[in-house]
Amino acid sequence: MIDFSSINSTIDSYLHSVLPAQVATLVECAIIAVCAIVAYLAFAIVMIFMERKVCAAFQCRLGPTRVGFWGLLQVFADVFKMLIKEIIDIKNSDWALYTLAPFLVIMSSIITFSCLPFDNGLQVLDFNIGVFFIMAASSFGVLGILLAGWSSNNKFAMIGAIRSGGQMISYELSMSLCILTLVVLSGTMQVSEIVEMQRGGWFIIRGHIPAVIAFIIYLIAGNAETNRAPFDLPEAESELTAGFHTEYSGMGFGFFYVAEFMNMFIIAGIASTLFLGGWTPFYIPGLEGFNEAMEWIPGFVWFLGKTLFVVWLLMWVRWTFPRLRIDQVLVLEWKYLVPIGLLNLLIMTVCVVMGWTL
Amino acid sequence: MMNIENIDIKEFRQKMLDLRATGMDFLREMVGMDWNEEGLGVIYILENSATHEGKEVAVRTANRENPQVPTMSDIWQVAEIYEREVYDFFGIEFTGHPDMRRLFLRNDWIGFPLRKDYDASEAINPVRLESETNEEIHREYDIAEEKQLAELVEKMKILHYDQFVINIGPQHPATHGVLRFRLSLEGEVVRKVDIHCGYIHRGIEKMCESRTYPQTLAFTDRLDYLSAHQNRHALCMCIEKAMGLEVTDRVQYIRTIMDELQRIDSHLLMFSCMAMDMGAITSFIYGFREREKILDIMEEVTGGRLIQNYNIIGGVQADITPDFAAKVKEFCNDQKQRLKEYYDVFVNNVILRNRTIGVGVLSREDAISFGATGGTGRASGWACDVRKRHPYALYDKVDFKEILHKGGDCYDRLLVRLEEIVESIRIIEQLIDNIPEGDYKTKTKPIIKLPEGQFSASVEGSRGEFGVFIESHGDKTPYRVKFRPTGLPLIAVAQKIMKKHKVADLITIGASLDYVIPDIDR
């Protein structure tokens, strides 16, 4: 297994040796920002392409095939199209908020993205309240959506934004409960430590029943958090045309679009970090040869494999189910998921206290 | 030839109330008429929904300046929207009507286009470039006391300013065409629906009056394009009946099979679009995948995929292709398998059931009163299938079941369509192997003249009873043609059952009623 933290410290000490301390820190920040944003965009492209191909497979279609081999350049063509589109200035919109909204959404998404541990040491933000920070950072995305709906001065956007406010704030609750359940199991909030602890066995196995329940609730709530079907009512195209981003064109819309896909990736990434062992390989106790072979697979491959598997699960749901109605969405959350989540947290606590975990 | 009873306008309302009391509960059609010097009038085609007995009555008024006829909107609920149509085209005001506005044309339109003395010059009605303003208040009649006026005006306001009013349409993904709902919302709950039609009104009935009978056929495909065959079948049947022309057995077989194929096509589209409106895009693609095969068959036989122009007076345009039977059979076998897939992926889905069961309930009485025929009526338990009520073509020779459901909600409306696909396949399978040899069309004279009188015919279109009414004065062009729209009663129903539901339900109800806009607007 490669330890990326040694590479990081090499770069760090090299920069400090050639530059004054403040400048070195500044340069490091810049390098990290560039890396994070490039990785963010690269994954966005992968996700959009994956969505197209997965959805095509579910619908017995081929998906994009014309642009590039196997349609590989389709996403680039899409992005290029979006970049050269005119950004329309809406009359009577609240200009400042209207412009700010997409940035809020993408900012929240990028900050959360940088908390994901891709491999040992390959993580931008890692400190002792990491999980707490992830929850905080991901939750201010809803602010951008609410502002987008409010500032566009459009009734459809307004309804979409109000729906999304109600939905996202509600589902954050059960998502946090699921994450808390895992924090109880691991006893730490630091992301790298949580992953490290799973070398002995993934939490979904060690936490057995309560962890599986938490995983399922987490996936449902995560799906709702990303505003994807069957929870895509904030942008239900058959009701509200495009919901909260009706009035956005060009890259304004592009930000919402990319953020939606990346939020799905982030939700899946957190799921794989907390439940499926992050970048730690899969071990079977007793089979030494097998475990050693697993060690040879790099950590980021494990992480990406697990994450894309969860993404695929989310896409499967998205391309199968019809949309819920707003009251049903809220009933599902407040009458079922939150009580079950609370009970589950209790069960997990009892399990941990009594030492009933595997 | 129809036997129309003329009733004097003074005792008209009482007579109609009597007729309603005798069980004439289904107002099939309301035909506005302009008989020149004999004045304006309205023909009502009524039917007893239990015995299927018909009755046609007419009322006339000689006053061309300010023609008035008492309203029937409190007797048959569908009359409310039919009377608005007659008012729009003939300027006949219905006294006591709660909402006497124009239905299709702009409210600043001058003149009444279906009157015989209508001046169509562009100087009177130029192409207007400014937006139409919404009429905020209904016209009102018979205010007894001056004091009540303010109170009454308040009550009659269509939408109030303090409400959250949004427009769904005319350009909206869920209205399936150019239709506009003005909604007043309370949060997500719909308080009132005001429907505006006419965005694709082409005046087809008016155009028919200046065209020869064979020329009028081309319009029918452009009404409800998803029941193009049935519509044209109805018009051909009506003209053939009036001419006394018998078509060959082969033609009857071809027409019946094509009608049923068209019905499957339409129901598949309904299933797909309902799935699409509810966010299940995969099911949408599944439905369209199978629909494509029907379109391929149609293309091979008729040369068209949507607008087919296949039926002609005395037969069909071209004979079926040699491999038609084989292809249709292959499709039928395939479709039976595919239907199971639809149930697995969409119809039995728990989210769908939660969203549709108990939503938009239409009672049987309301269905009859609104004249909501087709799948909508049958989902409410009203046996309204024309193929059973008044069999035409070969429907009395084939064995099929009329699908009836009790609930009258969106889920039942979806199930009726899917089960009717199975019945249509059964009909096709009974006929496809036995198509007799013979001529595919009977020779007709180049100029067709119908004898004087009124004629009507109706068929079961894809989404309800499609009727044709022709009044002929012995010329080579019809004096008046009226098509019974299958969608207009559904719009009236929508206006009623959408109330008190959420915005999302409104889309579901619209999808389940399955209306087609060009058919409403004509």
Q: What is the pLDDT of residues B422-451, one digit of tens each?
A: 999 989 988 888 888 888 888 888 888 888
| Residue A338 pLDDT grade (very low, low, confident, very high; cuts 50, 70, 90) | very high
Contact: B507, A319; criterion CB under 8 Å: no
Span B410-420, average pLDDT: 90
Q: For residues B354-365, b (16+ Cβ closer than 10 Å) or e, as one string?
A: bbbeebbbbebe
pLDDT of A138 strictly over 70: yes
**Higher pLDDT pick, A289 / B206:** B206
Each residue of A77-97: pLDDT tens digit? 888 888 888 888 888 888 888
Residues of chain B contacting residue A327, judged by C-beta atoms under 8 Å apart: 188, 502
**Higher pLDDT pick, B207 / A357:** B207
Question: Is A320 at the interface with chain B, CB within 8 A?
Answer: yes
pLDDT of A343 strictly over 90: yes
**Higher pLDDT pick, B137 / B184:** B184
Q: Please state the φ and ψ torsions of residue A297, each to the nearest 5 degrees.
A: -75, 125
Report whether A186 contacts A345 (CB < 8 A). Answer: no
pLDDT number for residue A335: 92
Residues of chain B contacting residue A246, judged by C-beta atoms under 8 Å apart: none
Taking CA–CA distances from A55, the nearest residue in chain B reads B282
Q: Nearest to residue B291, comparing CAs of B279, B277, B275?
A: B275
pLDDT of A236 strictly over 80: no
Report whether A271 contacts A222 (CB < 8 A). Answer: yes
Which of A292-296, B236-240, B485-489 has the weakest average pLDDT?
A: A292-296
Domain ranges (residues) in chain A: 78-354
Which of A214-228, B74-88, B178-192, B333-347 has the weakest average pLDDT?
A: B178-192
Span B264-269, average pLDDT: 91
Residues of chain A contacting residue B164, judged by C-beta atoms under 8 Å apart: 155
Nearest-CB residue to A325 (from B173, B276, B355) = B355
| Residue A342 pLDDT grade (very low, low, confident, very high; cuts 50, 70, 90) | very high
pLDDT number for residue A217: 92
Q: Residue A267's Cα: distance from chain center in Å?
A: 3
Residues of chain A contacting residue B504, judged by C-beta atoms under 8 Å apart: 233, 236, 239, 323, 325-326
Nearest Cα of chain A lies from the Cα of B181 at a distance, in angstroms, of: 12
CATH topology of domain B204-521: Cytochrome-c3 Hydrogenase; chain B (1.10.645)
Question: Is B277 at the interface with chain A, CB within 8 A?
Answer: yes
Mutate which of A52, A154, A155, A239 to test chain B, going by most B C-beta atoms within 10 A?
A: A239
Q: What is the DSSP string of A30-90?
A: HHHHHHHHHHHHHHHHHHHHHHHHHHHHHTT-----SSSGGGTTHHHHHHHHHHTS--PPP
Nearest-CB residue to B289 (from A55, A60, A238) = A60
Span B450-464, average pLDDT: 86
Can you give the pTM of this predicted structure?
Answer: 0.86
- In angstroms and rounded to an integer, the radius of gyration of the C-alpha atoms of chain A is 21
| Residue B155 pLDDT grade (very low, low, confident, very high; cuts 50, 70, 90) | low
| Cα(B348)–Cα(B353) distance, integer angstroms | 7
Pairing mode, strands B40-47 and B93-95? unpaired
pLDDT number for residue B135: 66
Span B309-321, average pLDDT: 86
Contact: A230, B351; criterion CB under 8 Å: yes
pLDDT number for residue B160: 64
Taking CA–CA distances from B286, the nearest residue in chain A reads A59
pLDDT number for residue A120: 78
Residues in contact with B438: Cβ distance below 8 Å, sequence separation at least 6, in sequence order = B248, B249, B250, B251
Interface predicted TM-score (ipTM) of this complex, two decimals: 0.82
pLDDT number for residue B158: 64
Nearest Cα of chain B lies from the Cα of A162 at a distance, in angstroms, of: 10
Span B80-88, average pLDDT: 89
Contact: A322, B352; criterion CB under 8 Å: yes
| Residue A216 pLDDT grade (very low, low, confident, very high; cuts 50, 70, 90) | very high
Each residue of B22-69: pLDDT tens digit? 888 888 888 888 888 788 888 888 888 888 888 888 888 888 888 888
Domain ranges (residues) in chain B: 4-124+132-141, 204-521
Nearest-CB residue to A239 (from B164, B346, B503) = B503
- Yes or no: domain B4-124+132-141 corresponds to CATH 3.30.460.80: yes
Span A205-226, average pLDDT: 88
Residues of chain B contacting residue A236, judged by C-beta atoms under 8 Å apart: 279, 504
Question: Is B503 at the interface with chain A, CB within 8 A?
Answer: yes
Residues of chain B contacting residue A320, judged by C-beta atoms under 8 Å apart: 280, 282, 345
pLDDT of A117 strictly over 70: yes
Each residue of B227-258: pLDDT tens digit? 888 888 898 888 888 888 888 888 888 889 98
Taking CA–CA distances from A242, the nearest residue in chain B reads B173
Nearest Cα of chain B lies from the Cα of A177 at a distance, in angstroms, of: 25
Question: Is A224 at the interface with chain B, CB within 8 A?
Answer: no
pLDDT of B140 strictly over 60: no
pLDDT number for residue B161: 62
pLDDT number for residue A218: 92
Which of B161-165, B280-284, B454-458 has the weakest average pLDDT?
A: B161-165
- In angstroms and rounded to an integer, the radius of gyration of the C-alpha atoms of chain B is 23
Pairing mode, strands B54-61 and B4-7? parallel
Residues 25-64 of A with CB under 8 A from B: 55, 58-61
pLDDT number for residue B154: 59
Taking all residues of chain B, what is their mean pLDDT, rounded to a whole number? 85
pLDDT of B144 strictly over 80: no
Span B334-354, average pLDDT: 88
pLDDT of B501 strictly over 70: yes
pLDDT number for residue A258: 86
Span A148-157, average pLDDT: 86
Handedness of CA B76, B77, B82, B86 (dihedral sign): positive
Taking all residues of chain A, what is their mean pLDDT, rounded to a whole number? 85
Span B212-229, average pLDDT: 87
Nearest-CB residue to A326 (from B188, B279, B352) = B188
Which of A233-237, A332-336, B150-154, B313-317 has the weakest average pLDDT?
A: B150-154
The CA angle A77-A81-A84, to the nearest 5 degrees, is: 140
